[in-house]
Amino acid sequence: MADKEKKVMDIEILKQAEIGRLENADAIKVVAVFGAGTMGQGISQLIASKGMEVILIERNESLAKKGIQELEKSMDQEIARWTLTESEKKAILSRIKISSKIEDAIHGDLVIEAITENLEEKQNLWAKIDTICDPDTIFITNTSALSITEIASTNNRQDKVIGMHFLNPVPKIPLVEIVRGLKTSDETYQIIKNFSETLDKTAVEVFEYPGYITTRVIVPMINEAIHIVMEGVATAEHVDTAMKLGYNFPKGPLALADLIGLDELMAWMETLFRELGEAKYRPCPLLRKLVRAGHLGKKTGKGFFEYN
């Protein structure tokens, strides 16, 4: 074999070995998670429950501590329902370290961003993280409707940026949408697909389009349910009862809206309406009214329903 041919073959073998190493779920030991809100908490709990270490990073120490305290309360509720044990809770929390330093992202084999659903904020954060992390580190954004390609546009590794759309509550819902941007590589997709399987999630591959699958389908239904209440056709309780009993839904659309967060839901709708221009995505006036009043659903104690 000619020396030139042998050299080319050796390079290909090294490339395949590197891909194989990354695709091996055991290679992922530490995950940095940005955002200690509801989704960041759930993602951190899920990852830590599978034996990996988590660095949960927030803008300041106060928000980071608040996030871990809320996660503890959430797990205490699971213990009360007998879906989690005290020892499991302790093991999970022992693997989650909180931080307010963006520089700690360098320790993550993967970096997951779960901050507010705002394109500019996500772009600014990723631009900063890009200068900190190893060039081979994969960046994952947890977004429900925004463009992966746009989010990735501010950094120098667009082939290593991908979306993982988890649904709330993250540890319980067995699905994750893996969203490919226009420049996401096949290698990046395969690594994250394998990572999803490590998390015991069924991964659905989605090519970039506003709303992906789940958000695009669920938003018009919730919006129509809100219109029914606004028009006085039925109460929120009766709308949810009808959908649960009539279509075997585990949760009614308005209770689901409260769980998502009405501000978050409205942000999804505005993104879809702006991108697609279809009236079915235009937020119902009653939804805007509740958001302006600060009634954001379960997280504030009041939305379409009241919570303790």
Do 247 and 272 belong together in one domain? Answer: yes
| Residue 18 pLDDT level (bands cut at 50, 70, 90) | very low
Do 135 and 52 belong together in one domain? Answer: yes
Do 195 and 235 belong together in one domain? Answer: no
Do 193 and 167 belong together in one domain? Answer: yes
- CATH of residue 51's domain is 3.40.50.720
**Residue 2 belongs to a domain:** no
Do 234 and 199 belong together in one domain? Answer: no
**The total number of residues written for the chain in this structure:** 308
Is pLDDT of 7 > 70?
no
| Residue 24 pLDDT level (bands cut at 50, 70, 90) | low
In this predicted structure, what is the pLDDT of residue 128? 96
In this predicted structure, what is the pLDDT of residue 8? 41
- Could you check whether the bond before residue 169 is cis, i.e. omega within 30 degrees of 0? yes
Do 295 and 224 belong together in one domain? Answer: yes
**Residue 20 belongs to a domain:** yes
The string of pLDDT tens digits covering residues 87-139 is 999 999 999 999 999 999 999 999 999 999 899 999 999 999 999 999 999 99
> What's CA 7's distance to the chain center, in Å?
43
Residues near 112 by Cβ (< 8 Å), separated by ≥ 6? 31, 32, 33, 34, 43, 140, 141, 142, 164
Mean pLDDT of 263-272: 94
Mean pLDDT of 254-281: 95
**Residue 1 belongs to a domain:** no
**Residue 159 belongs to a domain:** yes
Domain end point (choices 140, 173, 207):
207
- CATH of residue 290's domain is 1.10.1040.10
| Residue 26 pLDDT level (bands cut at 50, 70, 90) | low
Do 147 and 88 belong together in one domain? Answer: yes
User: Torsions phi, psi of 161, nearest 5?
Assistant: -110, 130
For tokens 């937020």, the residue is 283
In this predicted structure, what is the pLDDT of residue 249? 95
Do 82 and 20 belong together in one domain? Answer: yes
Do 153 and 202 belong together in one domain? Answer: yes
Domain end point (choices 178, 207, 236):
207
Is pLDDT of 64 > 70?
yes
Do 112 and 197 belong together in one domain? Answer: yes
Tokens at 196, concatenated: 């999803």
The domain in which residue 36 lies consists of 7-207
Is pLDDT of 155 > 70?
yes
Sign of the Cα pseudo-torsion (44, 48, 50, 51, in order): positive
Do 42 and 109 belong together in one domain? Answer: yes
**Residue 212 belongs to a domain:** no
Mean pLDDT of 269-282: 95
**Residue 107 belongs to a domain:** yes
Q: What is the pTM of this model?
A: 0.85
In this predicted structure, what is the pLDDT of residue 9? 42
Tally the domains of the chain: 2
Do 50 and 141 belong together in one domain? Answer: yes
For 262-287, letters b (16+ CB in 10 Å) and e give: bbbbbbbbbbbbeeeeeeebebbebb
Is pLDDT of 3 > 60?
no
The string of pLDDT tens digits covering residues 192-214 is 999 999 999 999 999 999 899 99
**Residue 28 belongs to a domain:** yes
What is the pLDDT of the chain when averaged over all its residues?
92
**Residue 305 belongs to a domain:** no
